[in-house]
Each structure stands twice: as C-alpha cells, then as structure tokens.
Amino acid sequence: MRFMFVYYVMTHGGSAQDIHNYARVAKTLGHEVVVYGQSRDSVFPLSKEVESADAVFFIFEWTQVMRYGDRLDLARLIGRVPRERRFVIDCDGAYNEPIAIDGDYNHTTVAASREWMRICHSVSDKVFQPTLHPLRPNVRPFFFHGYDPDWEQPLDSRGKEYAMVYVGHSRFRWGPMSRVLQAMEPIREELGRIALVGHGWDSVPSWAGRMGIEHCFRTDPDYLQKMKAECIGEVPFDQVIQWMGKGIMSPVLYRPLFSHLRMVTCRTFETPAAGTIPVFDLDEQYVTEIYGASATELVLPATDPEEKIRDVFARPEYYGEIVMQIRRRLAERHSYAARLQELVKIVES
C-alpha cells in the first residue's frame, strides 16, 4: 500500500522520529510512506502525488497550524482523494470538547472546539487518537507513535556526563518538571549535572509571541538557576535518544492535558530505549497499561519522592533490569512494523 501523511514535519520537534521510521519500515514490508509536500533538500520522502495514495492520513498536532489557517489548500487536497480513503489522527486531543486542567487546555472556547471538530469532519469521519481511552464515542484508539528496538543503548551508569537529562520542549510541562526537580532538591548536592534539552526552559521562545502562546512556555528561570540546571537548545530528532543516554536518569512526563487523556507521545517509547533509567511522573495505572506491572517501581511517588530518586542512583543495575523488561514489552507490542500493520488493517476495514 501507498500511505500519504499530511503533516508539517520539523526536524527539531513534533513526530519527525515517527515519520522517519514509518517510511523506513514501510520499504522493508513492501509498502510506501510519503509526506505531502515538495522540497529538494528534505530528509523525509515528500510527494504531491495524492491520487495514487491508497490512504491519506492527516496527522494533527501542535506543529500543524491548520486550525488557525495555514498555507495548505485543504479543500483542493481532499477534493482529490475519496472520503473513504481519508483518515484523521489527532495527536493533541483537540478533537474533544474544551478541556482545561492544571493550566493546560485543548481549546479556549466552546466555539473553537466546535470549529475544529467541524474541520476534522470535513476531512474524514474516521478519527483516531493515541490513547486507549478516547472520550468521544466516534474516536478509535491508534498509537501513532512507536518503538524501534534498534534505538536501544547499553544500560551503564558509569562515567555518565549528567545525573539527569530531559529532552523535550517546555510547552505546558513546567508543572511536571518542577515536581521532578523538587524531588531532586533535597539530594541535589549528591547528584551530578542536570540538562534540559529543548526550547523554552530558561526563556520564552522568540517566536511564541507571534503565535500568541507565550504563556504555554512559562517556567521559573530563577529556580532552574538555583538547581544548576543547564538549559540546552533544541536538537534534531535523530539526536534525541543519544542525548537522553547522557544521563543516568531521564524523566518521562507529559503536559497535563495528555496525562488526563492518557495519551502516548514520542517520549513514551524513546526514553526506555536510551541508555538511561526512565522515572515516570505518571499515573500507576497508565504505566502498568503501557509498560507492564514491574514498571510501577519507576513511578515517582507522591510521598517522599526524593527517596525514589536516591534509590535510582544508588541501584541503577536493579532498575536497569526493569528497563530491560519494559524494552521487551515495547518491542513486542509497539514496533513500527506492528504500527504499519495496524494502518493496513485500518484501511482495509
């Protein structure tokens, strides 16, 4: 089959890692994955030959600004593809009524929510979200993000450059990140360097003002300085796992909206593959559902979280065995080959 993804690809954010791996795995399985677009120097397979696609998947997330009116001629594009061959994958939970939780939200008004759902309906009547628990009855689960066993790095805490590395942008993530840092604070002097890799940690990105989303990136630079956190700029998608592997520990945390919707993200699957110990600032039931029951030992508890942090650094080999169990589970259930087969079934059904 020939799959086309309608998606604005950024090498330094979003789901670039997933797009790259879908295209790579598709070739080995006798399929083809391309991204709608045209460029001479893109690292992604781009094409505007829409009519030859067996299925066109519209991947909606924060990098896709269609809801605000971008340059993609949506009407002309969908007019070239029969409705039964068009699908929507809502990676941001925007296809819902307005939700506001812990300062995070999907829409600011009911009107905005309804308008976005109207746009989705104009594209397709088949809508998917990367969660096992969609709120709307007409939405079906599909974990767009996946796992590649070839990412896996050796789990060896010796000689690490950092005690903790987090790779990801600060968008709506200051609350979860501050909980992790506060858990580290009582034992901060016992630990090594801390790195936050991504934009928006020590200052609001310059372009956020033009988009009217400065508030999404608010952090506490003074506290970060107190914690001696090194704020490093964004890195390309193919350096994400390498960077996480520079730390003994790497937290897995979501923006509050994603936690509420029980969604998966790129980091859900990338972090366990890096040569680091993932620590989950997530609900235990969710962790069990995705990673298995043994992974709950890596959940940051609400009471005395500093003791869990201390134990992770004291017994990295013990927690490394849990990470190996997680890797086996993810490789079996969430590989890109498995994802592609799911896409085939979606189209055929």
Identify whether residues 54 and 201 lie together within a single domain. Answer: no
Residue 257: which CATH number?
A: 3.40.50.2000
Identify whether residues 83 and 181 lie together within a single domain. Answer: no
* pLDDT at residue 43, rounded to an integer: 76
Which residues partner with 10 through β-bridges?
Answer: 13
pLDDT digits (tens, 9 = 90+) for 50-104: 999 999 999 998 655 554 444 455 667 788 899 999 999 999 999 999 999 999 9
Mean pLDDT computed over every residue of the chain? 92
**Rounded (10°) angle between helices 16-28 and 336-348:** 80
Identify whether residues 133 and 161 lie together within a single domain. Answer: no
* CA 314 – CA 309 distance, rounded (Å): 9
Which domain covers residue 250, as residue numbers?
Answer: 149-333
* pLDDT at residue 69, rounded to an integer: 43
**The three-state (H, E, C) secondary structure of 271-329, written as one string:** HHHCCCEEEECCCHHHHHHHHCHHHHHHECCCCCHHHHHHHHHHCHHHHHHHHHHHHHH
Identify whether residues 7 and 119 lie together within a single domain. Answer: yes
Identify whether residues 110 and 255 lie together within a single domain. Answer: no
Q: Using CA atoms in the order 336, 346, 145, 152, what is the torsion angle rounded to 10 degrees?
A: -20
Identify whether residues 113 and 159 lie together within a single domain. Answer: no
Identify whether residues 141 and 154 lie together within a single domain. Answer: no
pLDDT digits (tens, 9 = 90+) for 185-226: 999 999 999 999 999 999 998 888 887 889 999 999 999 999
Identify whether residues 124 and 166 lie together within a single domain. Answer: no
**The three-state (H, E, C) secondary structure of 219-240, written as one string:** CCHHHHHHCCEEEECCCCHHHH
Q: How many domains does the chain have?
A: 2
Stretch 110-128: mean pLDDT:
93
Identify whether residues 301 and 176 lie together within a single domain. Answer: yes
Q: Which two tokens stand for residue 108?
A: 């600011």
Identify whether residues 71 and 121 lie together within a single domain. Answer: yes
Identify whether residues 193 and 327 lie together within a single domain. Answer: yes
Residue 60: which CATH number?
A: 3.40.50
DSSP line for 62-108: TT--GGG--S--HHHHHTTS-GGGEEEEETTS-SSS--EETTEES-S
Using the predicted structure, report yes or no on whether residue 148 has a pLDDT greater than 60.
yes
Identify whether residues 162 and 83 lie together within a single domain. Answer: no
pLDDT digits (tens, 9 = 90+) for 255-280: 999 999 999 999 999 999 999 999 99
C-alpha radius of gyration, the chain, whole number? 20
* pLDDT at residue 41, rounded to an integer: 67
Using the predicted structure, report yes or no on whether residue 46 has a pLDDT greater than 70.
yes
* pLDDT at residue 40, rounded to an integer: 65
